[in-house]
Structure 1
Amino acid sequence: MNPPDELLKASFFGPWVPVPGQPERVRHHYMSLAHWYESVKFMPAKAELRDSVLFCPSVKEARKFAKARQSDWRSDWNLVRHSVLIAGLGFLAIDRPDLGLEKMAKETLLEQLRAMKLPDRFVGACVDRFMEWAAGPTIASFGANTAPDSVVGHKISKTVANKPSWTLLSLCNGKAAWRLHDWALAHYVPVRYLGRPLSRFSAEMVAELVHACDQLVVFEVKGGRRADAVIKLARAQKKPLTLELYDAEDLAARSLTQD
């Protein structure tokens, strides 16, 4: 990757996000990292402007479109822009391993990002944090899709409290823990997906989940046995494992609130 702007010619898929009023999710395709960065300026209130950025034919046009509508930017942009760029680099690295971003020299990456026309000091700080992310753990969960939200939220928050940079490994089919997934996105945590929306949940998928993660958090109702196989597999592979048990009464309460 020799040309100084080659990185900004790389397109990638971002996260699976909800479609308002519909049960399906959509995974947006970004023409470049700059398109990602400029589009998030309008989220979540101006989704139509975000979508317009995605269709801009070039980095220059995406930047021009966003700048002309600065009054519509999210009010906390200056607070989140570092996290937005780092998350974008994470999604780009995950979806395009051929680019070798996680092993790229800092000076090379800085040169590649200079075409975004952002302040050097800002980009340098983001690259440092991106490199911290690249060295961080990939964390997966099992059973978070059926456990009470309060139990999942408390445990995951505690698990990552001492991990400033990490990646969520998530399913994207009917067994996905979407509440946990969306919480991670809200905190600009990059997500690595396993399978596809129509993938059948199977023992092979569970095995792949355990193999691909660095740490596993398992949620199980007290007295339950659904997680026995995944716990056994994780221990056999010597994966760091946390088991969070919760009462059946908590699960019943969750079902009532959903109904």
Structure 2
Amino acid sequence: MAVFEGAALVGVYAAASGLVTNAISAACLLVVTPSYPWLLREKKNRSEAGHRTLHTQIGLMTLAGMFAICLTFFLARDIALPLLLGRTIGVAAEPLVFPLLVIAVVGAFRTHFFDQAYHLHARTKILMVVNISTLVVAGCSVYIGTHFAGLHGLLAGLLVANLFSLGASATFARALVDMRRVMMSGMFLVGITGVAAWCGSLSRLALTHFLYSNVWITCVSTMIGIVLFAGLYFGGNVGSIRSALVGRL
């Protein structure tokens, strides 16, 4: 990127992408780290279909956690980014938040769900093929995108590479993962995240008539979005989340 863009833009991208990637990874690891040893143990105690269902439920919980972080970042970006990155970099990074969140979620879900499936079923050779293919696609798409469109081309190239990686992983993992349930529930999560983000943004506009502090407006609108997301998530019982909370996952 430094070949085609100035140092200031490189710095803004590096700071913003690092912050977003680490936040999404943290949301994944909170679920994945304790669940992986449990999944290994349960593989011996459950039927193949039962274990596949359990893995899918944990994957959907991970995805929901990532979407909650995305929603918080998106709605609170005008306060969170200047606070975490400094005002100069934070304000410049605000337009990058949405594409970086999308790229981070796609990449993290592939890494922490599909890669986990390959490790659980000892299919690491397929995983190596997917990784090598992704490396080739990423190298080409990122270079071409950056060359012709600068930072926006870089983001497009990264998105292409991550979508290719996700698609390839999902294709080879069909025998290991309940793809129908993952896709249906994943689309539902995307939908409720979009609704929550829209309502949070709309409430922000409405609150400008009642509150004069930008900090309070952002905090309240973000809280409205998060509460709505949580309500739709639990109300829709995505991934049997209500059963999981009472220890029946």
Give TM-score, length-normalised by structure 1.
Answer: 0.29
Q: Judging by fraction of residues, say which structure has more strand.
A: 1
- Normalised to the residue count of structure 2, the TM-score between the two structures is 0.30
